[in-house]
Homo-oligomer: A and B are copies of this chain.
Amino acid sequence: MTYLDNNTATKPSQTVILAMMPYFEEHYASPSCPHAMGQELLRPIEKALHAIYHLAGAKEDDLFVFTSSYSESITQVIHSVYEQVARQTGKTHFITSTIGDAATIYALSKLEEEGCALQMAKVSKEGYVPLDSIIEAITPRTCLISLPLASALTGVIQPVYDIAALCKERGILLHIDVTHALGKLLVDFAELGADYLTFNGEQLHAPKGTGGLFARKGTPLIPLIAGDGQETRFRGGPINVPLEIALGQACIEAEQSSTLYCSEVARLRDLFEERIIQQCPEASVLFKESERLPTTSAIAFYGIRSEALLYALSKKGVFATMGGGCEQHIERVVEASGIDHIIASCTLSFSLSKFTTEHDIEKAATIIGEAIVRLRKLSKTLL
């Protein structure tokens, strides 16, 4: 089996699992309890938080909320800005882009029912949202711009430093989701100039159920989930000790493997693209010239519908994605860059992780090559 769907979910690392196990089995009390079994949890949680802050380049006085997913984190950011800015000031204009993830687009669309306006910034033919698109989209009533640092499906990196500078100048809040970039690129919340940073542990070899939200001190932030802890932790309800410990450990490991991503993983991704082109000369790597994540390839296989290829590969044990789920559909993301929809409908996204080997890549490329030959033959005969 060759798993090339790491931007959807990664395999939790064995050491991450080992680190969290004692908090299922032994240290199961609630850290909100004043007794010893509760209090003994504070030190390990503090250690985990330290690692999370460190990986994200957050400062000590930045606020952090441990959430159950990036979807929850993103919803909380948008809820906070709506309640604390839009409703208070009448600045009810929001900007995002088609390349954003599902949570952002759903949450902002919901605000349209409340009289807010949502503007989708245009995407360049290189697959990113250029500064000009943002300038064009901004109105005097814009309160928040929400973008991913890198697209999950194409891997294209957004020019967020420029956008951050513009937001600062115009007094607009900026939210950047770094889910697909964290641990792969240098992410430094302080340097980035964003007001909110969200991410997901599932893409970082932590288990599912590990999300995070950073907010710069003084930025509007209110809880999404009510209950105990909503005033201090900005999230009501029990603290999920094992998952928070797991996320901390995953952040430590992500820091250790960050050079691996820009060297070995990048090499394997390039090798993968090279092999694919050798096997299927009609295929084309999209956005190859753009700044991209070292992990991700969006490849168009002209004449072969994505669904058919995804299914054929799945049967042979190679796993890729065409989006959907927590991400946009790849078709819409690719089309947003002005690429013909016939090409868009023939695109699959492949994503590697630090666990991907050269053997995986060679094997996957061969299987993809064979599948393409078979599907082409079939489509000539049958369609």
Determine whether A202 belongs to the interface, using a CB cutoff of 8 Å to chain B.
yes
- Write the A3-34 contact mask toward B (1 if CB under 8 angstroms, else 0): 10100111110100100000011001110111
Complex formed: what's the CA distance from A1 to B300 in Å? 61
Chain A interfacial residues counted at CB < 8 A: 72
What is the count of identical protomers in the complex?
A: 2
List chain B residues, Cβ under 8 A from A208: 28, 238-243
Residue ID in chain B nearest A72 by CB atoms: B225
Residue ID in chain B nearest A316 by CB atoms: B36
Chain B proximity of A18: nearest CB distance (Å): 11
Which residues, 231 to 249 on A, are CB-close (under 8 Å) to B? 236-243
Whether the pair A17, B12 counts as a contact (CB closer than 8 A) is no
Determine whether A172 belongs to the interface, using a CB cutoff of 8 Å to chain B.
no
Known: A12-B28, A28-B12. A227 touches B319 (CB 8 A): no
List chain B residues, Cβ under 8 A from A101: 227
Most buried by B among A68, A75, A241: A68
Determine whether A110 belongs to the interface, using a CB cutoff of 8 Å to chain B.
yes
Whether the pair B238, A106 counts as a contact (CB closer than 8 A) is no
Most buried by B among A25, A228, A307: A228
Residue ID in chain B nearest A35 by CB atoms: B314
List chain B residues, Cβ under 8 A from A230: 106
List chain B residues, Cβ under 8 A from A10: 28
Known: A17-B24, A24-B17, A310-B35. A236 touches B102 (CB 8 A): yes
Chain B proximity of A236: nearest CB distance (Å): 5
